[in-house]
Structures are given as C-alpha cells and as structure tokens.
Amino acid sequence: MRLAISSYTATSAAGIGLSAMANSIASRSSGLRPNDLPECDLLTWIGRVPSVEDTCLPHHLEHLQSRNNQLAWLGLQQDGFLDTLNQLIERLGADRIGVVMGTSTSSIGRTEEAYARLEQSALMPEAYRQPEVHNLHSPGLFVAQATGLKGPSMTISTACSSSAKVFASAARWIQHGLVDAVLLGGVDSLCLSILYGFNSLELISPDPCRPFDVRRNGISIGEAAGFAVITRADLAPESKFELLGYGESSDAYHMSHPHPEGKGAVLAIDRALKRAQLSAQAIDYINLHGTASRANDLVETYALAQCFTDRTLASSTKGWMGHTLGAAGILEAIITLQAMANDLVPGTLNCDVPDPEFRFPILQSNVVQSIQYAMTNSFGFGGNNATLVFGRIHD
C-alpha cells in the first residue's frame, strides 16, 4: 500500500515554520545560542525556540499547561497545518484519523516546576495537579485534544529514535485498516533534567556542536515540534512525497554507546531499503543522525561504508538547531522532505575538517541537486534504531 505525506510543518531553533527553517538552512545561519535557560548554569549552547514562553494555550487546553505542550501548540499553528487537518477531518471523520507522537522527555519540565513548588504539606500546588501532563503520554493526549481527533492515540519513547518510529507505527495502522490517516509527530522541550542528565554523561559540548568534525566534543541540546499527516495515497492525490520504507532494530549493545561496527544501524538501513524495494545505490541523500559525539559519528560512518558508495550525499543538520532528542526523527524527516522540495541538500554546519578516521565522506557545504529518493537515520540510546526512506511522487 502506497502511503502519501499530505502535509507537514516544523518548529525549532532554526525557525518557526517551514519558510523560516528553509531560510536558515539556505543561509547557513545556526539557531544555537549560549545557554540562557532559567536556573541552569551549564556552560553550553542550546537550540531554544524563543516564542515558547509567550505561547498561550486555548482555554479548553489550559489544564494541559506545560512548556512541552506550549511548544506543541506553537508548532501546530504553523504552515496552515491545522486548517489542512480540519479539511481532512471533514472528509474522513475524526475517528478515522489516529495520533502517534514521539518524545523522550514529555512534560517533565512541568514536573520539575511542580516539585520545586511543593507546599509545606508536601502537596503540589493546585495548578500543578495535572495527571494528563505528568506522564509520558502527555504529547499524544495533548495533540488529540488540541485537534479533536478521535482515532487511536499513542506516544512512543525510544530516546532519539522516538519520532522516527512514529512513521513505522502509523504505516502499520493504515495498512491494517485501523485508520485511514495518521497525524504523527514529535515534541521535546528544554528542561533541567535533560541538560544536567546529558552533562553527567559527559556528552554536552561547551561550544556549538560540530557534527563529524575532527574537533567535535559533544552535543548541543535543542527543542522542537514537528508534525506530518500520512494517509493512503488514493486519499491525497495532490501529495508530492511518500513514505516508501522504514526499518527498525534494537541491538541493545550498550545503554548509551552504539555497537562499534554499527550492526544495529546497518540492520535498520537494510530493512528500510528492503521495504522500499530500493537498492542502496538508488538513495540520493541521507540525513544522518550525526550528533557530534565522538563515538556516534564515527560508528555511523562505519555503517554507511557497509551499505553505500560515495554517490550518495550524506550530512547532519544538527548544527542548525542542536539535538532535539525525541523530536529529532520527525524534524530531520521534514528537513529531508524540504530538501527534496527545494532541490537544496544541506551540508553539515560547523564541520570544517572531517575526521580522517571516517570511512564515508560527509557533505560539508550545501549543494543544489534534485533528489528522487532520500533516507533519514535516527539512532537512540539502548540501540533503538530507525531508518526511513522517502520518495518523490511524479506528476
């Protein structure tokens, strides 16, 4: 069954909405900034979305107040996404459209606030008694209520592959007839737990991240919200792109370190290509996981060298907005779709001198080139790997 991508939008430090993001990528202007998150004294750079704090939830959603849900609401309002979704609801019915969201932190930032404001009785203040917020399914619950969708709803949390895996789950739902379309996405927002947690793992860089550069010394944490709608191709004849394949693996080699030979990554890539019925040589561009950590970037080049030739362009786009964790999969999928739409392949921002130990060439500068088939890689802690393949639909 062919699955069309009928609409999408993205919000991150690289830009609020598709146009702003495209301008940032074309001009190679990073959205990373010195850490200015309140009550956080870490010396690092972050990908902060400046309008989140000023975003007010509608009255009927105020009981779901959190920074994460504010970011989700801001993202949903971009690029006419809600209008397009409402038109689809009128055609299919709210109960025939599902919701699959990816996240790693959910609304834990709100939980941090709640514990910091405990009353003398050790009870949370009334405003923070939010059972639908203080749990991992918060993004799925929020998006379903914000959009009025009545189909099945699920939130996936597999670290940094979370919102790449949403494509696979959505595809299975449609293929099995549970729904006709799925609103899928990912939202993760900056919070103290994440910044201090990654710092404790010695993975945070004091500088803007340098994916695949020989001087790379850690990641920059960012936040983002991305959304897309996929449906049966016959229901969206105007669509320009389709989801051709997905591959998932769980090598469980180590809690935070990838398999040194990239076995889990290769397995996910092979499965995605097989499902797409494409050879590796057919892929024009790969948006890499490329976090700027020493081990992950090196191992990803090992995996690429086992599957591809240097005909395929490959780059990381995290230099624009940082690593957005559970939102990285959807955000980088949308960046890839925009690269296909605009015939502009993003290079790797802040990669000045590629590491000589790499086994696969990394694109450094933007390139004007038409893309027929593209791939994205998202590799999470614990060996939770996901690879997606997208194709251009010919007129």
C-beta of residue 66 within 8 angstroms of C-beta of residue 187: no
| Side-chain half-sphere CA neighbours of 317 within 13 A | 32
Distance (Å, rounded) from C-alpha 283 to C-alpha 336? 12
- The residue assigned the tokens 């786009």 is 317
Distance (Å, rounded) from C-alpha 25 to C-alpha 69? 26
Pick the catalytic residue: 191, 307, 323, 351?
A: 323
Three-state SS at 354: strand
- How many Å separate Cα 231 from the centre of its chain? 19
CA distances from 217 to 220, 228, 370 (A): 10, 33, 33
Does an H or E element contain 389, and which? Answer: strand 384-392
Pick the catalytic residue: 160, 191, 209, 351?
A: 160
Nearest to 352 by CA among 252, 231, 211, 245: 211
Distance (Å, rounded) from C-alpha 125 to C-alpha 131? 13
Nearest to 306 by CA among 250, 360, 229, 252: 360
**Beta-bridge mates of residue 367:** 345
Our answer to whether residue 160 is catalytic in this structure is yes
Amino acid (one-letter) located at 392: R
Pick the catalytic residue: 191, 209, 259, 289?
A: 289
Q: Can you list the alpha helix ranges (DSSP code H) found in the chain? A: 18-27, 67-76, 81-92, 108-116, 138-147, 162-175, 192-200, 263-276, 294-307, 318-321, 328-342
C-beta of residue 383 within 8 angstroms of C-beta of residue 249: yes
C-beta of residue 290 within 8 angstroms of C-beta of residue 297: yes
Reported in sequence order, the residue ranges of 96-180 that DSSP labels E, i.e. its strands, are 97-102, 153-156
Instruction: Phi first, then psi: give them for residue 158, nearest 5 degrees.
Output: -125, 50
Distance (Å, rounded) from C-alpha 35 to C-alpha 47? 9
Distance (Å, rounded) from C-alpha 45 to C-alpha 202? 14
Amino acid (one-letter) located at 58: P
Point out the residues that are catalytic.
160, 289, 323
